[in-house]
């Protein structure tokens, strides 16, 4: 079966944080975008989000034909998807909702159009269960902000065709992304499993009164976070082993794995833990609005991405290597 890979019209269902990010990325690439969201006032909120993201996209470089005017809001799911060349669902993370929505989307979409879901960790075999032509249905899990971060995890379900995975990878690449094919369908995929482990540990540290939310963020952003952005964990630890490399590192730090350094089981989400986290992050946020912080984050990401790109080129690496 051949799937459409040369896309002109991009459909987005659900236009919250993630859906709006997809809309911004697709518009910046010069595509026509059709969006649908059932919430009252969703169109105005979406246009506001796109306007907030646009300065960063301009700095990054827009396609010659890119325009916020190429966004159209549809009245129904069917109108949103019927002429689309690619469909990305970003509705709330609820299994029953996604099952029902995908039955509706896939019945109205052309059969050779790929349908991606932004789910953070639900299994595609479960929520595409009632989909028409399930061989073109898959997960394309992005990261916030979708319009700047390149990673998208591509995960097929039991009935997804291998050709559909390849077509989705091609499409996401054309959108300037770095697809990672997650070959086993596991809850949380790869990236969120890692993030979840760190998040659980961070909540324990707050809960035990070891550190505030701000101190924990400092521990990441002035240390490991800087290394992660270009080397990840395994390559970083290879260097930590010195000339003897990874084998030495694993022998040296192996015993720590037996120590109670990490709990991994999540702490109970008590009101007092929630209060501590909300108060701590409130202090970190200060007087700045979320939109201001989003623009600050975008400029930092552009600076980091730009610096990594330049340095990789100096050392003979391609940017997506």
Ligand X SMILES: NC(=O)c1ccc[n+]([C@@H]2O[C@H](COP(=O)([O-])OP(=O)(O)OC[C@H]3O[C@@H](n4cnc5c(N)ncnc54)[C@H](O)[C@@H]3O)[C@@H](O)[C@H]2O)c1
Give contact residues for ligand X (rule: CB under 6 A).
Answer: 13-19, 37-39, 42, 90-93, 97, 101, 118-120, 141-142, 144
What's the CA gap between 180 and 136, in Å, rounded?
18
Class of residue 139 by CB neighbours under 10 A (exposed 0-12, middle 13-18, buried 19+): buried
Q: Which is nearer to ligand X, 146 or 249 (CB)?
A: 146
In angstroms, what is the minimal distance from the CB of 18 to ligand X? 3
Q: Which is nearer to ligand X, 120 or 212 (CB)?
A: 120
Which strand (E) or helix (H) includes residue 314? helix 290-314
Q: Which residue is nearest to ligand X (CB)?
A: 16
In angstroms, what is the minimal distance from the CB of 85 to ligand X? 20
Q: Which is nearer to ligand X, 39 or 274 (CB)?
A: 39
What's the CA gap between 308 and 304, in Å, rounded?
6
Closest to 43 (Cα-Cα) out of 73, 14, 12: 73
Structure tokens at 38: 């059932």
Q: Which is nearer to ligand X, 252 or 285 (CB)?
A: 285
Q: Which is nearer to ligand X, 93 or 275 (CB)?
A: 93
Strands (E), the chain: 9-13, 32-36, 71-73, 86-89, 114-117, 137-141, 151-156, 178-181
Cα torsion through 78, 82, 84, 87, rounded to 10: 40
What's the CA gap between 13 and 102, in Å, rounded?
10
In angstroms, what is the minimal distance from the CB of 17 to ligand X? 4
In angstroms, what is the minimal distance from the CB of 301 to ligand X? 14
In angstroms, what is the minimal distance from the CB of 80 to ligand X? 10
Q: Which is nearer to ligand X, 9 or 117 (CB)?
A: 117
In angstroms, what is the minimal distance from the CB of 227 to ligand X? 22
């Amino acid at each position: 079966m051949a799937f459409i890979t040369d896309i002109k019209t991009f459909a987005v269902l659900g236009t919250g944080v993630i859906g709006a990010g997809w809309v911004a990325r697709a518009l910046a690439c010069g595509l026509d975008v059709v969006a649908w969201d059932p919430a009252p006032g969703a169109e105005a909120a979406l246009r506001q989000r796109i306007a907030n993201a646009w300065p960063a996209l301009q700095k990054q470089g827009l396609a010659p034909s890119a325009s916020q005017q190429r966004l159209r809001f549809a009245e129904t799911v069917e109108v949103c998807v019927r002429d689309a060349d690619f469909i990305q669902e970003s509705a709330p993370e609820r299994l029953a909702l996604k099952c029902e929505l995908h039955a509706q989307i896939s019945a109205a979409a052309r059969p050779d159009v790929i349908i991606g879901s932004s789910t953070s960790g639900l299994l595609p075999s479960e929520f595409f269960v009632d989909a028409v032509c399930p061989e073109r249905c898959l997960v394309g899990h992005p990261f916030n902000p979708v319009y700047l971060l390149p990673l998208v995890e591509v995960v097929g379900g039991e009935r997804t065709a291998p050709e559909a995975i390849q077509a989705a990878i091609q499409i996401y690449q054309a959108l300037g992304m770095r697809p990672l094919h997650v070959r086993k369908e596991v809850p949380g995929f790869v990236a969120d499993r890692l993030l979840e482990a760190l998040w659980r540990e961070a909540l324990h540290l707050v809960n035990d009164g070891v550190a505030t939310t701000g101190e924990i963020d400092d521990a990441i952003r002035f240390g490991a976070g800087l290394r992660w952005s270009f080397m990840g964990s395994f390559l970083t630890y290879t260097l930590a082993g010195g000339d003897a490399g990874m084998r030495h590192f694993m022998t040296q730090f192996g015993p720590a794995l037996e120590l109670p350094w990490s709990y991994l089981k999540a702490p109970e989400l008590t009101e007092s833990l929630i209060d501590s986290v909300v108060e701590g992050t409130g202090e970190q946020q200060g007087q700045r609005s979320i939109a201001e912080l989003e623009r600050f984050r975008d400029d930092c990401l552009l600076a980091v991405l730009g610096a990594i790109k330049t340095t990789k080129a100096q050392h003979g690496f391609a940017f997506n290597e």
